Each structure stands twice: as C-alpha cells, then as structure tokens.
C-alpha cells in the first residue's frame, strides 16, 4: 500500500471540563478551502461531548434524545460560515432528484418565513457586518420557534443530513422527558452540558481568516448564503496552519468554559453554605 503523502496524520489532545480526549485527524499538506476543517473539529467536539454524556449517565440520568424525536428540529439552527460551505458541498454531491427535493423544501421554508415577517431578520443575521450578541438573537429565536417550522432537511421526521448535520444539532441533548421538548417555551428542559461549541470555534476561525465578525448563518439560508459567497468559500489556506489557528480557538473556548464552570461551582457551594448557616 502506498503511503498518502498529501496528508499528515495527527493525534490532537485537548483537556475538556469532563476530562482529556485524543482525536486522530488528517491534515492536508496543500492549500485547501475552509470547509475541509469542519469534519476534524466536529470529531473533536463529539469526543468531548461523549465524555459529558458518560458523566451524566454515571450520575444516574439518561439521554432522552432518540431517532424519530424531532422536536428540536423546529428550532433556529445557526451555522458558522465553514459549515455553510461544507453543507453546500454535500448537497451539490447528491443525485439530482434528492438535491432538487431539498432545494424545493428550502424555498418553501423561506416563503413561509417571508410570510411570517421573519425572513428579513434572518438575512440581517447572515449578512451583518457587525458582531451580533445574544440579546439580538433571542427575540428572533423566539419568533422562529413560534412558527414550529420543520427543518428543510427533515424528511418524515428523520434528519436527511444526519452525518453532515450542523454542530449545533449534535450538541443539543437533554435528560428531561422527551415530550417536554414539544414546548420549550413552557417546559424547563435539562440539557446535557456542552464543553465545546464547535460552531462558535468555526465562526471565530472564519473571522480570523477573513476578518469581520464571528458570523452565523440561519440554516434555511445556508445554501443560498454559500452560493452568494462562493468566492470567499473558494479561498484556500495551508492545511496545517488552518488547523493550528482552529486549535487556538478550541483551547481558548475550553479554558473559558472551564473557568465558567468553576465559577458556577463556587457560587453553588456558597449558596449551599448560606442555606446551612441560616
């Protein structure tokens, strides 16, 4: 067997709040577009998330999410720019009939969003030149969720892009009863902690590579956005350098998450002591 000299195989080790993980990745030795980094970062994120799931189960809880439970597929899903380009590449590779059916569902979703008056706000998110904060996203998330609009890639209540689904979809797991997810406005669902939000890392990487904000694109607009920004998506970077930049974002995010959990733990401990003293 001839050794592939176009890629470098590396073991990436990171320390997550739930413990260390080591993930094998392949890095191109050539210049490649940003979409190629998506799968590697998703593998790192999934390995970290698996540790969180094990910890949750070890403490007596159970993950409620199962195939066919698609309540969360009515939420507004954000994609980082590299994910939008990667999803566009995936759909382009589909057979014509499958691709056209997906594009028709996307067009129908955008039409429904336009009738509801939500579409202009989603385009504003996708194309904003400034950095948007959570306060900006929250009312738009609520307006979108109120429509109970199925994800355009949901077919007969099953994800048709499961292997290529966005990081935000991979990270949303709950231990509360599955039926509670039918109305997230009324029910206090219990999410599994997320140690590493890969979408955020990818958004930060994109901002680092091209300048501008850490951008998120609403899923119904992802393919349309990727087509409009095809020139940017076609740019390339040296594979090892891009991975190193991405890992810098990973380590930054994990250190911030660890610090946040430590503060939360100290605050909880302090409240517990106050109750005992009272």
pTM, to two decimals: 0.92
Round to whole Å and give the CA distance between 62 and 87: 31
Round to whole Å and give the CA distance between 216 and 130: 12
Across 23-36, average pLDDT: 95
pLDDT tens digits along 112-162 = 999 999 999 999 999 998 888 888 889 999 999 999 999 999 999 899 999
CB burial of residue 222 (10 Å; 0-12, 13-18, 19+):
buried
Alpha helices in the chain (DSSP H): 38-58, 81-92, 96-115, 119-127, 134-146, 167-171, 198-210, 222-228, 230-233, 239-277
Which single residue is written with the structure tokens 């320390």?
Answer: 15
> What pLDDT score was predicted for residue 269?
66
pLDDT reading at 274 higher than 80: no
What's the chain's average pLDDT?
91
> What pLDDT score was predicted for residue 164?
96
Is residue 154 within 8 Å of residue 114, measured between CB atoms? Answer: no
pLDDT tens digits along 82-117 = 999 999 999 999 999 999 999 999 999 999 999 999
Report the SS3 class of residue 30.
coil
pLDDT tens digits along 176-218 = 888 888 887 888 889 999 999 999 999 999 999 999 999 999 9
């Amino acid at each position: 067997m001839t050794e592939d000299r176009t890629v470098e195989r590396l073991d990436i080790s990171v320390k997550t709040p739930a413990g260390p993980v080591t993930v094998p990745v392949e890095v191109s030795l050539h210049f490649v577009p940003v979409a190629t980094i998506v799968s590697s970062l998703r593998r790192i994120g999934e390995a970290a998330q698996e540790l969180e799931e094990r910890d949750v189960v070890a403490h007596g809880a159970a993950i409620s999410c199962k195939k066919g439970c698609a309540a969360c597929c009515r939420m507004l899903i954000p994609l980082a720019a590299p994910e939008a380009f990667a999803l566009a590449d995936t759909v382009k590779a589909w057979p014509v009939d499958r691709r056209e059916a997906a594009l028709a569902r996307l067009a129908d979703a955008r039409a429904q969003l336009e009738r509801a008056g939500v579409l202009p706000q989603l385009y504003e998110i996708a194309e904003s030149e400034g950095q948007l904060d959570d306060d900006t996203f929250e009312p738009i998330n609520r307006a979108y969720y109120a429509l109970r609009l199925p994800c355009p890639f949901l077919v007969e209540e099953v994800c048709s892009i499961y292997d290529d689904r966005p990081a935000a979809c991979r990270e949303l797991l709950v231990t509360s009863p599955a039926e509670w997810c039918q109305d997230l406005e009324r029910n206090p669902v219990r999410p599994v902690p997320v140690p590493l939000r890969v979408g955020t890392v990818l958004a930060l990487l994109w901002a680092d590579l091209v300048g501008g904000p850490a951008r998120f694109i609403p899923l119904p607009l992802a393919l349309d956005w990727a087509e409009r920004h095809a020139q940017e998506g076609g740019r390339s970077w040296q594979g090892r350098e891009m991975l190193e930049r991405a890992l810098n974002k990973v380590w930054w995010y994990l250190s911030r998450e660890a610090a946040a959990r430590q503060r939360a733990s100290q605050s909880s401990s302090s409240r517990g002591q106050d109750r005992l003293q009272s």
